[in-house]
Amino acid sequence: MKKIKLLALIFMVVSCAGYSQKYFTKNGHIKFYSETPIEKIEAHNRQVNSALDASTGDFVFKVLIKSFEFEKALMEEHFNENYMDSDKFPDATFTGKIVNTSAIDFLKDGMYDADVEGDLKIHGETKKVKEKGTFEVSGGKIIGKSVFIVHPADYKIKIPNTVVNNIAEDIQVTVEVILEQVNK
């Protein structure tokens, strides 16, 4: 039995109806940033899968944890082994919806504010989130951006006491996706 894929799932209903405006990228960029007086830590992942259905507002992204790159090898190692347990939880996902789709014209160039709601799953823990972002429609592409805060404790990520002063309690996450229409 072949299981239904997350990305595919949200589009099934729409595809069956034979009408959709699907957008997709394999090279979304997610950055996170932690700053304390002792240390600044930043990591990047530029191979983020993301899909948007402009007709329904369904929006998802999926990111592989081990693809995050850090400046220091030691931080990357700690991140994977000690905090994110990336062997056990190899990816993080967001599955949600743009709530105010009526305020966004995905066919008309311009910058639109978006309210996005959904489930953010990190470290095997799923939390309901509600964040603000922007969608810029430009020449048939949709550039989605959002900056939000993630608290490691909410996702049962334990920071050991020895480095508790090096890692911020509020991690700033920046998501940037340049979505292109799927020709199907």
124 backbone φψ class: left, alpha, beta (φ>0; ψ -120 to 50): left
Q: Is 138 in the site for another protein (CB under 8 A)?
A: no
**Contact indicator for 47, 64 with CB cutoff of 8 Å:** yes
Q: Is 62 in the site for another protein (CB under 8 A)?
A: yes
- Please, what is the minimum distance in Å from the beta carbon of residue 26 to another protein? 7
The single-letter DSSP state of residue 90 is -
Q: Which residues make beta-bridge pairs with 43?
A: 32, 70
| 27 vs 82 by CB, closer to another protein | 27
C-alpha separations of 88 from 5, 21, 80, 119, 181 in Å: 19, 35, 10, 20, 33
Among 40, 72, 130, 151, binds another protein (CB under 8 A): 72
C-alpha separations of 67 from 63, 77, 92, 149 in Å: 8, 12, 11, 20
Q: Is 90 in the site for another protein (CB under 8 A)?
A: yes
- Please, what is the minimum distance in Å from the beta carbon of residue 41 to another protein? 13
Among 43, 65, 84, 150, binds another protein (CB under 8 A): 65
Binding region for another protein (CB under 8 A): 2, 5-8, 11, 15, 22, 24, 26-27, 29, 46-47, 49, 51, 62-67, 69, 72-74, 76, 80, 86-87, 90-91, 182-184
